[in-house]
Amino acid sequence: MDKKNNFLMKLPIAHRGLFNNKDIYENTISAFKLAIENNYAIELDVHLTKDNKIIVIHDSNLKRLFNINKKIKKLNYDDIKKFHFPNSKDKIPLLKDVLKLVNGKVPIIIEIKYDRLVGKLERNLINMLNDYQGEVAVKSFRARSINYFRKNCPNILRGQLLMYSKKFFYRLFFNLRIFYSCFSKPDFYSCNVDCLENKKILKLRNNKIILGWVVKDKKDLKYVKKHCDNYIFEES
């Protein structure tokens, strides 16, 4: 892979857009507008509703953001769009509206969430992205999602998400995801800052793009600039 000319290397990447959780919230139209205005690439998350609409939200449940204990996959979009963020006109957006807003102005990295069986969300996402003219990539913790794109839409860049900590299950899944990537063949890896000096990641960096997340301060920024190719950040 030609790292130097890859669009994933062009701009710092705003994690869920630029937001402050006061009047601009994560994964909203306002957060994406602000990222575009500041010439940052955008990272966002997608889920599929009960009526097969792709919406932009990180959580599988509305509890954290709206204090409503309901799962996304059990709600139609007409139910979801009624909820607005506090002190804001923003609501949970449809991905198609975000793509229309961005319209190739900056690159987009789409994280595919995983509260459903592999197939339906990925298939709907491919159909939508086939009509999008801008620079876009997908990523997921779930290797099967990445493999679905390898088989069905290999022209879209795909990335494997990795997280590492000293806890046994994190280490187990970290190693399993690297193993399964031998089959899904990701174009890049998106790694939390705690695993950037792992020997396996250092080896992968020889021919794969490594994105570090999430950068929250100057110390993090100095560290990731040394150990990865580009970074995903939140403004503090």
Flag whether pLDDT at 235 surpasses 80: yes
CATH code: domain 7-233 is: 3.20.20.190
Mean pLDDT within 20-33:
95
Q: What CA–CA distance (Å, rounded) separates 153 from 201?
A: 26
pLDDT at position 21: 85
Q: Do 113 and 60 meet the contact criterion of CB atoms below 8 Å apart?
A: yes
Flag whether pLDDT at 116 surpasses 90: no
Mean pLDDT within 186-195:
95
- As a whole number, the mean pLDDT across the chain is 95
By C-alpha distance, which of 210, 11, 215, 29 is closest to 106?
A: 11
Flag whether pLDDT at 1 surpasses 80: no
pLDDT at position 210: 97
Mean pLDDT within 62-76:
96
Q: What CA–CA distance (Å, rounded) separates 122 from 120?
A: 5
Kindly list the domain boundaries of the chain, sorted by start residue.
7-233
Q: What CA–CA distance (Å, rounded) separates 109 from 161?
A: 12
pLDDT at position 190: 98
pTM of the model as a whole:
0.96
For the chain, give the percent of residues with pLDDT over 70: 99
pLDDT at position 165: 81
pLDDT at position 46: 98
Which segment of 1-5, 198-202, 231-235 scores lowest on mean pLDDT?
A: 1-5
Strand ranges, E, within the chain: 13-15, 41-48, 54-56, 108-112, 136-140, 157-162, 188-192, 209-215, 230-233
Q: What CA–CA distance (Å, rounded) separates 141 from 177?
A: 8
Instruction: Give me the torsion for CA of 172, 211, 21, 47, rounded to 10°.
Output: -60
pLDDT at position 175: 94
By C-alpha distance, which of 26, 7, 9, 4 is closest to 17?
A: 26
The per-residue pLDDT for range 94-110, each reduced to its tens digit, is 999 999 999 999 999 99
pLDDT at position 117: 84
pLDDT at position 236: 64
Q: What CA–CA distance (Å, rounded) separates 152 from 149?
A: 5
Which segment of 63-72, 159-168, 201-210 scores lowest on mean pLDDT?
A: 159-168
Strand partners, 112: 46
